[in-house]
Chains A and B, each alone.
Chain A
Amino acid sequence: MAEKESQLDEFEQIYFLRDRHVRFFQRTLQVLPERYASLETTRLTIIFFALSGLDVLDALDVIDRNTMIDWIYSLQVIPTEDESNLSRCGFRGSSHIGIPYSKKGPDVFHPYDSGHVAMTYTGLCSLLILGDDLSRVNKKTCLAGLRALQLEDGSFYAVPEGSENDIRFIYCAASICYILDDWSGMDIQKAIDYIRGSLSYDNGFGQGAGRESHGGWTYCAIASLCLMDRLDEALSQRELNRIRRWCIMRQQSGFHGRPNKPVDTCYSFWVGATLELLDVFQYTNFDKNRSFILSTQDQLVGGFAKWPDSHPDPLHAYLGLCGLSLIGEADLRKVHPALNITQRAFEHLQQLQQTWRDSSNGGCNGQH
């Protein structure tokens, strides 16, 4: 009897170490270890993980908001006077190109300076999280930059000179349009066609047509359709039920991203949020999910790793928190499953959008 009790105690010893996670994200915002150098071009996404992570932990007070906001705005690609670079606008990942920090436009047109669709998305989210009113965002040029990235088949490049194109960037584009409350930034129908074309025989979504189903791409597909408010239009009830089935089978303890792969903390969000959007998250097993996520918690430095006994990183730290938030972990803010920011930040966005609509006298610009 006593043995059983101590076993139970051990099980309950997995505490959620809030303060360690706060410090983990604080460190992320200050200095990153050398192995992150290869991610320099996408540094803004790492900032987003840290900021949104702190938001979920209700610990944004540890940041100097204004400095952060200014830094993010310094990453915005500003149009030249003759507006010849509109198709290159948006937000950069960091200062790696070497453009001097300035709040005004560039003196000279730099041939390799352009926004990156994922940076624009995380940049806008980060600004919202910090409570900014997006008044310094040049919406017109962001949307022009976005339009320049969409291909005939409906998918998006990440940068205007070209890159790989797939469903991830459709998600970024949909989020940008949703946040800016302006869908002129993309051809929705083409995007829907590409998404539908990515549905695989086993009812998950691949990166594109003919490609293997994956929890991350399935999230991009479903979240995009929800943001566009076209979920029931684009997919039949039968298809939705099949997708639900594929997704719900991803839970092993935590979740994995593809069949026969090991479980990984980040999928507790990617698949969990998809299930939430499809209204069936309540059918998953919360205890096993929680136990797995906490088993990847780093008790020393904070954060979460993809697997137990591995090094934590900002992405898994953030998505681990979001996974816990979805199952209702105490003291964590709720996360908006489609936009991947807290409900609090989302409500801030809603208020902003209301003021935009009010000031434009109820006119709709390019809304579907």
Chain B
Amino acid sequence: KHGRVKVKTTAQQEEEKRKEREKKLKLYVAARDACFSKRKEGVLDEEALQLTQQMLSSNPDFATLWNYRRELLMHQETVKDKDELQKLYEAELSFLETCLKANPKSYGCWHHRGWVSVRLPQPDWARELKLCDLCLTMDERNFHCWDYRRMVVKMSGVSVEQELDFTYRLIGSNFSNYSSWHYRSTLLPLLHPESPEQNCEYELVQNAFFTDPNDQSAWFYYRWLLGRADREEMISCVYVDRDDERVAVAFSRPVNVSVLLIHNRDNQICVLPPGTISDTSNEHNLTVHWTEKHTHRDCALYTGRTESYCRESATDQELFRSELSVEKTSVLQSELHSCNQLLEMEPLNKWCLLTIILLMRALDPLGYEKETLGHFQTLKEVDSMRSAYYSDLCSKFMIENTILKMEYAEVRVFSISEKSLTTLCHLDQLLLVTHINLSSNKLQRLPPQFAMLQCLEVLEADNNSIENLEGLHNLPKLEEVLLKNNSILKSLQPLASCPRLKRLDLRGNPITQITNIGSELAELLSSVTDLLL
């Protein structure tokens, strides 16, 4: 395949080769030992410089030798005058150029060059930039060179504008210059710390992806340009129940904290003593403090009410939109328009489809739901290698939409069936849900976060591929669990911690084939009166 033919060597040729190798080894060892004995004797002279130069030409990643050479050079600094030193370091730079020509990706060489160029009595930063230009024309992705250039720019005070011009030129001559886009992403915020995106920057990127829609560099940069805000950490929901005398708290991310619960603004307590809130004729004001994040949430339990809650509205918070900065709606709309134009010309371009989906979700997730699903379908066909990933992403978006619809309808029922869901997420938003319908999807498990559904009374999850029920534990109000036609074979243990469970439908699951399973389950789940196998 390589067209190489193995040459058979005679014994004599082998012997010659062996002798040559030995000779080389002797030379190497002699040079090496000479270096180190010189060092030991404190001899830091020109001959040592010669020796190390010799060795480093063939072994450019011998870190110890570079360090020794730096010691030699520093010693020369104490005995030479400025002109001589300038000559010495210029020679060093030439030496390094030859090394770099042979090994443009040698860590040792670049590192040493960085060290040398700051020590020149008269540094020639223009020359260093030229060297970078040269290296980049040979390999514009050589990150050693880019890193070196950044150092040179910093040392020599090249302005941010000049560097932006440089990246502009490179991008202009070849849009597909990912390293240039990357560099630009670090420069732009220096010039515009508040709002990185400007119209001309959008234009630049659009030109790039219109010219070559298959090049991912511009798309990644574009996505970054459209902005992002990190979601605040917060207490998503507080729920109080008089009958069970419980307070449930949902956080926006998994936490390991002890919470401070303050009752009626008086005592600081974490545990409500029995009988505190059970009398419906009393009103109670509760506050949950998350001290680490300096945030809190109040919840008032009114007279005559058996329960109360207070939560962040997903709609108000524009929870699912904060992938992109929301204030710039007009910008997003115009960008969506441009991308749709491109899509007309390139209907199978995956980057375009992905970006459009992103923009639609930022602008109006419910309004664009139908189009989004259509685009996902196309995306899965066009980029079939990642179709499983896209299914997962689509599931996430469908769940987000269902949460929004639930809020608008002001109900506590979460229903999402026949949507090919492969995964569950945002369960922290479902603390108040009483009924959940997940039937006819492609779920394989009910993950641990499912236990956040503290108000859940009915779970319908027929016709999935669920094997794992690890999240179905400690759900105090859970009464009905419908799991017909799934893949459950064992692990029903979590359900034993749900004290109100009355009805359990396991028909069409492999577990029903186990002998005596009926009596086993009856023993495990004593509260269940209606067990369907």
Report which A residues bind B (CB closer than 8 A).
37-42, 96-98, 110-112, 114, 116, 158-159, 161-164, 200-202, 207, 210-214, 232, 236-238, 248-249, 251, 258-261, 280, 282-285, 288, 299-300, 309, 311
Contact = CB atoms under 8 A, between A and B. Distances in A.
Contacts of A96: 32, 62
B2 A211 contact: no
B182 A212 contact: yes
Given A237-B253, A280-B389, A288-B385, A97 B64 contact: yes
Interface residues of B, number: 50
12 contacts: A98-B32, A163-B107, A200-B185, A201-B185, A202-B221, A211-B146, A212-B178, A248-B386, A258-B141, A283-B392, A299-B1, A309-B1
B64 A285 contact: no
B254 interface: yes
A135 B143 CA distance: 41
A111 B68 CA distance: 10
B4 to A, nearest CB: 9
B252 to A, nearest CB: 9
Contacts of A207: 143, 147
B388 A201 contact: no
Nearest to B385: A285
A249 B216 contact: yes
A212 B146 contact: yes
B39 interface: yes
A323 to B, nearest CB: 16
A359 to B, nearest CB: 31
Interface of B: 1-2, 29, 32-33, 36, 39-40, 58-64, 66-68, 107-108, 110-111, 141, 143, 146-147, 150, 176, 178-179, 182, 185-186, 215-217, 220-221, 223-224, 230-231, 253-254, 384-386, 388-389, 392
Contact of B62 (A41, A111, A248, A251): A41
Contacts of A97: 32, 36, 64
Nearest to A38: B59
B142 to A, nearest CB: 10
Nearest to B231: A238
A122 to B, nearest CB: 15
A37 B58 contact: yes
B220 A259 contact: yes
A200 B143 CA distance: 14
A112 B68 contact: yes
A24 to B, nearest CB: 15
Contacts of A110: 36
Given A38-B60, A42-B61, A97-B64, A238 B230 contact: yes
A44 to B, nearest CB: 14
* Highest count of chain B CB atoms <10 Å: which of A39, A114, A258, A282: A258
A interface secondary structure, majority:
loop
* Highest count of chain B CB atoms <10 Å: which of A98, A159, A201, A232: A201
Contact of A164 (B2, B107, B217): B107
Nearest to B390: A283
A309 B2 contact: yes
Contacts of A112: 36, 39, 64, 67-68
B36 A98 contact: yes
Contacts of B66: 163
A243 to B, nearest CB: 13
B428 to A, nearest CB: 10
Contacts of A158: 63
A285 B387 CA distance: 9
A211 B143 contact: yes
A236 B64 contact: no
Contacts of A258: 141, 178
Nearest to B350: A249
Contacts of B221: 201-202
A282 B423 CA distance: 13
B147 A211 contact: yes
Contacts of B68: 112
A217 B231 CA distance: 26
A202 B63 contact: no
A165 to B, nearest CB: 9
A116 B62 CA distance: 11
A300 B6 CA distance: 11
B106 to A, nearest CB: 9
Contacts of A300: 1
* Highest count of chain B CB atoms <10 Å: which of A97, A248, A283: A283
Nearest to B179: A212
Contacts of B186: 201, 210
A260 B178 contact: yes
A161 B58 contact: no
Nearest to A210: B186
A207 B142 CA distance: 13
Contacts of B58: 37-38
Contacts of B59: 37-38, 40-41
Contacts of A309: 1-2
Contact of B2 (A248, A259, A285, A311): A311
Contacts of B215: 260
A284 B388 CA distance: 8
B178 A159 contact: no
A260 B176 contact: yes
Contacts of A159: 63-64, 67
A232 B254 contact: yes
A327 to B, nearest CB: 13
Q: Give 9 closest A-B pairs by Cβ, nearest first.
A: A283-B389, A285-B385, A283-B388, A161-B67, A201-B185, A202-B220, A201-B224, A164-B111, A212-B182
Contacts of A236: 230, 253
B326 to A, nearest CB: 15
Given A40-B62, A161-B64, 6 more contacts: A41-B63, A112-B64, A163-B63, A200-B182, A202-B220, A260-B176
A284 B224 contact: no
A260 B351 CA distance: 14
* Highest count of chain A CB atoms <10 Å: which of B2, B186, B220, B386: B220
Contact of B39 (A111, A162, A284): A111
Contacts of B223: 202
A263 B1 CA distance: 20
